[in-house]
């Protein structure tokens, strides 16, 4: 009974999106089969699914997904961790704000893609350069959001903590970090999107596996069906990562969901 | 001077925010166990007086106060990320976990929120959240309680309920308390003494002539209404200082 309720509730929630996707696929399939554009340049979704199926059967699809996800999550993890720590300390400690924030602001306008050639010179073409490039790109949105979050904490939260002698690391852990968490979440969600953009770009710059690599080699072979299939997989990976992150957050910090409902 | 007989002594206390002087050489003495209400118009410096006393803002002059202070704010300042029980336990870091549990249980019981211990503040009403804030301030057993317009954000019905509830609670706990409010009626109903502040100085002080325990019926007595009227006239009469006892005289 609970299962039936869940299915009905989900169906009620998702049916508009499902209808939109089905209509898009149907229109795409019909238009592609009319032959206005050669079918190999503009393949219908059924061909894309077939191409993905063949990639899955050969094991390439899983290898590429694994390679891209490992890079994305390593870069995301490192970039987010550094972004959160630097954001919290620059947001709350005035002397560090004065010294570090101008430096960060100097690098922030740089397009992260532009540093890839330099990173390859420094770290080589292996995994380190890719992970570094992703972490570099993720750092900035996470930092700026955390920084603003740490600055907006109501002063009464801090004063209240002061009456209980909460200082230093304890204050950061128990008041400043959770008090900035909704901003941190916004930063990391932004970072997830950036990480998947950077994974693609970093793999174009030299890789032997990964979804970006697959798109690159499919392009050389004029396999548009594979290119579109890989793009869809990359998009789905990003969307799933964001969904997983949001759901885990609500599980770990249920009060965030309560705040959103209010 | 015999300032050591008082729980709180403020002597020629001044506070400035930039070029604006908010408190000007204010002097006040409060006895141990006394409940003092501070009333004044917006911007008169009454909240700043509490902030200076708590050490949140820089001040000039002499301050004698107890080491342990509990404070309740108008915006509650209850942490939304902690459950009710964890909020109350926030100031109990030095105690063992068994002691902490017992203290939290005692104070949640005292504020009537035992059934809500595992809820988050967002799941409570405004009055309940303010009671969490009070339980949290009381739990470390501070010598002094500071209230910064604690019922200012509540509707009139909840506000009156909370006043009576605080009155009864204070009967049991009997802490030295400074209670900042806009409400003259609230100030008289709750306190032993009403201090009126205008433009950063004390412009009047009134001993409240009602014995404890009190109930709401005192609000309808002629004495209560007369006192309320007198304080209102003083507040409406602007900020011209009237004769108030100097600190030495109060001491």
Q: What is the DSSP string of A90-153?
A: HHH-HHHHHHHHHHHHHHTTS-GGGGHHHHHHHH-SSHHHHHHHHHHHHHHHHHHHHHHHHHTS
For position B3, what pLDDT does the model report? 44
> pLDDT class for B247, splitting at 50, 70, 90?
very low
pTM: 0.84
Determine what percent of chain B is predicted with pLDDT higher than 90. Answer: 61
pLDDT reading at B157 higher than 90: no
For position A179, what pLDDT does the model report? 95
Across A27-36, A90-99, B157-166, B213-222, least confident range: B157-166
Q: Token digits for B163?
A: 């006043």
Strand B8-17's sheet: what is its strand order?
B20-30, B8-17, B60-64
Distance CA A53, CA B100 (A): 59
> Which residues face B197 on adjacent strands?
B40, B202
| Interface contact B79, partner A, CB < 8 A | yes
Closest CA to B3 of B69, B66, B64, B53: B64
Q: Is A134:A79 a contact under the CB 8 Å cutoff? A: yes
pLDDT reading at B240 higher than 60: no
The H-assigned helical ranges of chain B are 46-54, 84-89, 97-110, 126-138, 156-173, 184-190, 222-236, 247-250
Identify the sign of the CA torsion B213, B218, B222, B225.
positive
Residue A26, SS3 per DSSP: helix
Closest CA to A221 of A65, A98, A87, A60: A60
| Interface contact A159, partner B, CB < 8 A | yes
| Interface contact B75, partner A, CB < 8 A | yes
Q: What is the pLDDT of residues A21-35, one digit of tens each?
A: 999 999 999 999 998
Q: Token digits for B216?
A: 């709401």
Closest CA to A64 of A240, A225, A226: A226
**List of residues 6+ apart from A81 with CB closer than 8 A:** none
Distance CA B179, CA B167 (A): 12
Distance CA B109, CA B106 (A): 5
Contact across the interface for B81 and A162, Cβ inside 8 Å: no
Q: Which ipTM value was assigned to this complex? A: 0.85
| Interface contact B55, partner A, CB < 8 A | yes
For position A260, what pLDDT does the model report? 55
Instruction: Spell out which residues of chain B touch residue A156, defining contact as CB-CB under 8 Å.
Output: 73, 75, 77
For position B244, what pLDDT does the model report? 46
Q: What is the nearest CA distance from A150 to chain B, expressed in angstroms?
A: 15
Average pLDDT, chain A: 92
Contact across the interface for B122 and A258, Cβ inside 8 Å: yes
CA angle B226, B211, B155 (to 5 degrees): 65
Contact across the interface for B73 and A181, Cβ inside 8 Å: no
pLDDT reading at B241 higher than 70: no
Q: How far is CA A196 from the centre of its chain?
A: 5
**List of residues 6+ apart from B84 with CB closer than 8 A:** B108, B113, B116, B117, B118, B119, B120, B121, B124, B132
β-strands B69-72, B60-64 pairing = unpaired
Which residue in this structure is represented by tokens 């006040």? Answer: B28
Task: Give the pLDDT mean for B86-91.
Answer: 94
For position B249, what pLDDT does the model report? 46
For position A150, what pLDDT does the model report? 97
Q: Token digits for A254?
A: 């249920």
| Interface contact B162, partner A, CB < 8 A | no
Q: Which residues of chain A have pLDDT under 70?
A: 1, 259-262
């Amino acid at each position: 009974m609970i299962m039936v309720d869940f299915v009905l509730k989900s169906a009620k929630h998702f049916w508009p999106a499902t209808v939109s996707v089905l209509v898009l696929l149907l229109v795409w399939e019909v238009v592609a089969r009319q032959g206005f554009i050669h079918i190999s340049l503009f393949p219908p979704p059924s061909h894309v699914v077939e191409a993905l199926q063949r990639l899955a059967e050969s094991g390439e699809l899983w290898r590429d997904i694994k390679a891209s996800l490992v890079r994305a999550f390593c870069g995301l993890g490192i970039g987010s961790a550094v972004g959160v720590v630097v954001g919290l300390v620059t947001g709350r400690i005035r002397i560090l704000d004065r010294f570090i924030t101008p430096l960060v602001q100097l690098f922030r306008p740089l397009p992260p893609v532009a540093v890839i050639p330099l990173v390859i010179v420094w770290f080589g073409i292996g995994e380190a350069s890719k992970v570094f490039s992703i972490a570099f790109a993720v750092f900035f949105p996470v930092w700026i959001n955390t920084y603003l979050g740490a600055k907006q904490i109501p002063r009464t939260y801090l004063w209240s903590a002061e009456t209980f002698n909460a200082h230093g690391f304890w204050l950061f852990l128990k008041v400043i970090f959770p008090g900035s968490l909704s901003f941190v979440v916004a930063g990391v969600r932004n970072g997830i999107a950036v990480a998947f953009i950077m994974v693609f770009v970093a793999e174009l710059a030299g890789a032997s596996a990964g979804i970006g690599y697959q798109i690159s080699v499919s392009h050389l072979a004029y396999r548009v069906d594979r290119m579109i299939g890989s793009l869809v997989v990359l998009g789905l990976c990003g969307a799933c990562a964001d969904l997983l992150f949001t759901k885990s957050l609500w599980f770990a910090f249920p009060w965030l969901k309560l705040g959103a409902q209010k | 001077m015999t300032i050591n007989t008082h729980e709180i002594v403020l002597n020629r206390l001044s506070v400035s925010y930039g070029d604006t002087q908010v408190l000007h050489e204010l002097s006040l003495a409060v006895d141990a166990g006394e409940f003092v209400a501070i009333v004044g118009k917006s911007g008169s410096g009454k909240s700043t007086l509490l902030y200076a006393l708590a050490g949140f803002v820089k001040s000039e002059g002499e301050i004698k106060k107890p080491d342990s202070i509990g404070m309740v704010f108008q915006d509650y300042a209850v942490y939304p990320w902690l459950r009710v029980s964890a909020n109350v336990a926030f100031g109990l870091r030095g105690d063992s976990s068994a002691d902490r549990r017992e203290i939290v249980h005692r104070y949640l019981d005292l504020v009537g929120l035992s059934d809500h211990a595992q809820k988050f503040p967002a799941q409570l009403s405004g009055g309940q959240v303010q009671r969490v804030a009070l339980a949290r301030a009381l739990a470390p057993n501070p010598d002094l309680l500071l209230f910064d317009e604690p019922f200012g954000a509540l509707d009139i019905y909840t506000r009156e309920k909370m006043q009576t509830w605080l009155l009864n609670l204070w009967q049991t706990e009997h802490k030295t308390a400074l209670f900042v409010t806009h409400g003259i009626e609230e100030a008289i109903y709750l306190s032993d003494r009403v201090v009126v502040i205008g433009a950063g100085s004390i412009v009047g002080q009134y001993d409240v002539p009602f014995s404890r325990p009190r109930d709401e019926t005192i609000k309808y007595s002629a004495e209560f209404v007369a006192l309320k009227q007198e304080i209102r006239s003083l507040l409406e009469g602007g900020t011209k200082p009237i004769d108030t006892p100097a600190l030495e005289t109060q001491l």
